[in-house]
Amino acid sequence: MNIGDVARRSGLPAKTIRYYEEIGLISPLRGANGYRSFRDSDLHKLAFLGRARSLGFSIEDCRGLLKLYEDDSRASADVKRIAQEHLHRIEAKIEELQTMHGTLSHLVAACAGDARPDCPILSDLAESDAAPQPGAQRRS
């Protein structure tokens, strides 16, 4: 299979597939003409990667998952640990976004959104209270 076929069948752009080879996630063979020659196993790995990435796993997580996937003597605990850590990161991110959402939706609701210059959004951003401490959350 050439890269175009694999791209269509895996749903990943050819550029991305080349990139995955460059960073060592896959190692397709090469034909006499220099073209990459993908085996079924390469296609499977790419599909695996596409699904893992769509769940938000980082490339390094994907590298680890792929290694475990190929290791018949793996422990499912190792897989679960990676997934759980990722799940925690997702939860933290959701919380962070929800905090932003809370603040911002209040401000948006309070803004008239007309031709006048008065704007609670700008007033809030301009408020000169204490400098934010690292990791501090502003009021919601």
Partner DNA sequence: ATAAGGATTCCACTTGCTGGAAGGTCAAGA
Partner DNA sequence: TCTTGACCTTCCAGCAAGTGGAATCCTTAT
Binding site for a copy of itself (CB under 8 A): 8-11, 44, 47-48, 50-52, 54-56, 65, 68-69, 71-77, 79-81, 83-84, 86-87, 90-91, 93-94, 97-98, 100-101, 103-105, 107-108, 111-119, 121-122, 124-128, 131-134, 138
Asked whether 50 and 12 are in contact (CB, 8 A), the reply is yes
- What residue type is assigned to position 59 of the chain? I
Q: What contacts 87, CB < 8 A, 6 or more positions away?
A: none
Residue 3 or 10 with smaller CB distance to a copy of itself? 10
CB atoms within 10 A of CB 18: 14
The CB-of-26 to a copy of itself minimum distance in angstroms stands at 15
Tokens for 25? 């996630």
Contact indicator for 57, 21 with CB cutoff of 8 Å: no
Among 47, 48, 51, 53, binds DNA (CB under 7 A): 53
Q: Give CA–CA dist 25/67, Å, rounded.
A: 9
Select 30 or 138, whichever has its Cβ closest to a copy of itself. 138
Distance CA 114, CA 89 (A): 39
Partner interacting with residue 35 (select from a copy of itself, DNA, none; CB below 5-8 Å by kind): DNA
112 binds, among DNA, a copy of itself, none (CB under 5 to 8 A by kind): a copy of itself
* Phi, psi of 62, deg, nearest 5: -60, -40
34 binds DNA (CB under 7 A): yes
Where on the chain is the footprint of DNA (CB under 7 A)? 2-5, 7, 13-16, 18-19, 31-36, 53, 58-60
